[in-house]
Structure 1
């Protein structure tokens, strides 16, 4: 995919694009280049950036249109009064052109998450051109590359190269067309509205980006200058910056409730800035869903617009990923986070790593001064806990050298879940034939089928109430304290 093509979030076209209009009917999976393009010639990005050649690495047309023209608009605004009607229209047109990108370029053409009638497609194509971010065809093509090659060298605006790069750097610095991934846009090449907008893109940009807002304000309330500066230049600037946030903030700020293997994230701030595109972790997992926000309280005006168009009969075949699969992804990610947190906790020495003791050895060690307690066949060293025992020293000392399974599980006191967890960190051995523990250990040694719930790392999950020392029905044990 060539660097001179406008891509998702791009606000300009390069000189090569101005000098050459490749046919949109070319092979859909091949980059479109001007006729004089020589693939054997080294691209400027293949040369190191130096003081002598730095200016050759800069995309000067984009710098002019993305930086210099908005700067001109900001300076001119200092002596151009902002009329209330112009301000209101600028806001309305901001949302219209923003929806041209989010509902049109993005969810309709890039992801085909719904179908639109020709009047709606034409409206979105016109509004999208007014945002000045490249043609729908090129925008969608590069955005598909972004999804296909997220966070890799083939991603046109990978956040792995830095937040500033993903927001603006990839546009103001020239890109090597050989390094950007290929995608299929055969469906777009068969859409006459997309092809028409692509072929006459510059005309659409001038008409919808500057002329139309200036005419509305000029003919409507005689504010030609305000229409040009506020509804034209500055509106374009703000729409562009909002779109750029999808490439940068949406891959940097927020949570990852569905998958954390790649950079996309969900955050309400990004959603507010981007007309609902901020639930990006969900979007990258389920890109064919016409929604970004799936909860009723989440901000997604693009979703609301598409749903409204369906009610009006202008949109149809709205795609929604099955809720069962969505919840699977959410649960799997929650489990992954639990596994990661569980791995950082001390669950005690695994049972299959503990030495096996004879009961008589256990008793002898206690007589020789060791503070050991036997609960459910597991020997625990409570030396460091005697003085901290909530029930007092006498109570815990009375169980030393004995089988304290029954008193620990309700015969004297039904210990809490926290007590069982704490006890697991004091394990030092297993009594041969002690309750079910030795049976489990022997089965492990004999490779018998012993089933335990394990986390993603293969470690046993110990749930509340399922600790090895937890006995549902207290057993009667002679000699218990």
Structure 2
């Protein structure tokens, strides 16, 4: 059940991981993992044939598919990814158990198996040691890596001590295969039979097609999220941000930010960014005792990263202002460079007001006419009496200095 390995063993050695395979000989040509390839292809064939012969004739079948798809996807995003891979929040035992069950529904291997490879991906992004490196092509990063037997020499550099110490992770790792098979082969047909009198449709749409949907939505993050979209926070890796992928993956599509700040519980940092995973974590933290703490990157660090990217993209000269490195933008180029952004010019600096415009006492309307690099200095100086704090806030969101011409 992709991606799940029987050839890789994990051995604790002073909080590190060693990776071994049945064949210890390194070869330049990777070995095809036939069992995994056959299983993966068979799943898709069953999905296509099953959809043709058992196309849903009532809303309950569609609902079963949707619920299974979403619960499996959230098991990956909430549990495998943001909790266990990056520890972006803490969770109490009841929630950890629920997330482990939901992660099993994703049918992507155990928590331990998934997390170790994901940590390897972040540590060696876009290199030969990246399990699903984008530099090896779109097909490989999406599903091609599933067809090859696992051999990761640098896995020894990935810490697994926290996973070994977690009883939920240990239990799920030990019993993942029987849990996953029970879910697909027994539970889904049973639900289909009891809910709408059709066990086969329950198996096809809840067990098979639902798993295929979870797989590809997850794999899109490995593949398309490294090819399509914007890079606002780092240019050092291929990761990009993409709204369409965010819609398909419960918020994982804001991938450039995630690779810049992987420990943040958010992937979409703005309130309006589509990131249901973030909203669920925040709601559990705010209204329950199941998420005692969340990790959030300070706005100033995010702004610094954004400034560096703007500077690199522009190829403009830079200047140091109050310890910050800012690109110097010719006045005639400001509106061209900052078109379609919530940036305005205030006292000779380009300021990104996206973070505080809606909270401004005068309302966002005082900025809206100047979005895209317009100069609102006159209004800033004459129409408002700004406190020292307000002025320092503006200084913190400067992204460039405007050069006099």
TM-score (norm 1): 0.63
- Select the residue among 225, 228, 231 that pairs with 1:256: 231
1:75 to 1:262, Cα distance in 2 relative to 1, 3 A: same
Q: How does 1:99-110 map to 2 (within 5 A)?
A: 99-110=74-85
1:178 Cα deviation from its structure 2 partner = 2.7
Q: What is the CA-CA distance between 1:158 and the residue it aligns to?
A: 0.6
Give, in whole Å, the separation in 2 of the partners of 1:147 and 1:210. 34
**Partner of residue 166, structure 1:** 141
**Could you say which residue in structure 1 is the equivalent of 2:42?**
68
1:322 and 2:298 matched: yes
- Preserved contact between residue 129 and residue 152 of structure 2 (Cα < 8 Å): no
Aligned pair in 2 of structure 1 residues 97, 24: CA closer, same or farther (>3 Å)?
farther
Q: Does the alignment pair 1:127 with 2:102?
A: yes
| 2:157 match: secondary structure | coil
Q: Any idea what the Cα deviations from partners look like across 1:167-205, whole Å, max 9, x if unmatched? A: 111111334333657300101110000000001110111
Gaps of 5+ in 2: 319-326, 331-399
Partners of 1:153 and 1:179 within 8 A in 2: no
C-alpha displacement at 1:208, in angstroms? Answer: 2.6
Correspondence for 1:31: 18
Distance in 2 of aligned mates of 1:140 and 1:14: 13
Larger Rg: 1
Report deviation, 1:121.
Answer: 0.7
Q: Secondary structure at the match of 2:194?
A: helix
Equivalent-residue separation in structure 1 for 2:185 and 2:16 (angstroms): 33
Contact 2:71 2:102 in 1 (8 A): yes
Could you report, residue by residue, the CA deviation over 1:411-459 in whole angstroms, capped at 9, with x for unpaired residues?
xxxxxxxxxxxxxxxxxxxxxxxxxxxxxxxxxxxxxxxxxxxxxxxxx
Contact persistence 1:14–1:59 (CA under 8 A): no
1:249-328 paired onto structure 2 within 5 Å = 249-310=224-285, 311-328=287-304
2:258·2:264 contact (CA, 8 Å) conserved in 1?
yes
Q: Determine if the alignment matches structure 1 residue 237 to structure 2 residue 219.
A: no
**1:13 alignment partner in structure 2:** 4
- Tell me if 1:188 matches 2:179: no
Inter-partner Cα distance in structure 2 for 1:96 and 1:145 = 25
Matches of residues 64-463 of structure 1 in structure 2 within 5 Å?
A: 64-82=38-56, 83-178=58-153, 182-310=157-285, 311-339=287-315, 463=402
How far apart are the structure 2 equivalents of 1:214 and 1:26?
A: 43
Alignment root-mean-square deviation, CA:
2.6
- 1:150, distance to aligned residue in structure 2 (A): 0.7
Q: 1:76 to 1:462 in 2, by over 3 A?
A: closer
How far 1:463 sits from its partner (Å)? 4.4
**Structure (1/2) with the larger strand percentage:** 2
Aligned partners of 2:63 and 2:302: how far apart in 1?
A: 39
- Whether the 8 Å CA contact 2:65–2:206 is kept in 1: the answer is yes
Under a length normalisation based on structure 2, what TM-score does the superposition of the two structures give? 0.74
Partner of 1:46: 28
Number of aligned positions between the proteins: 326
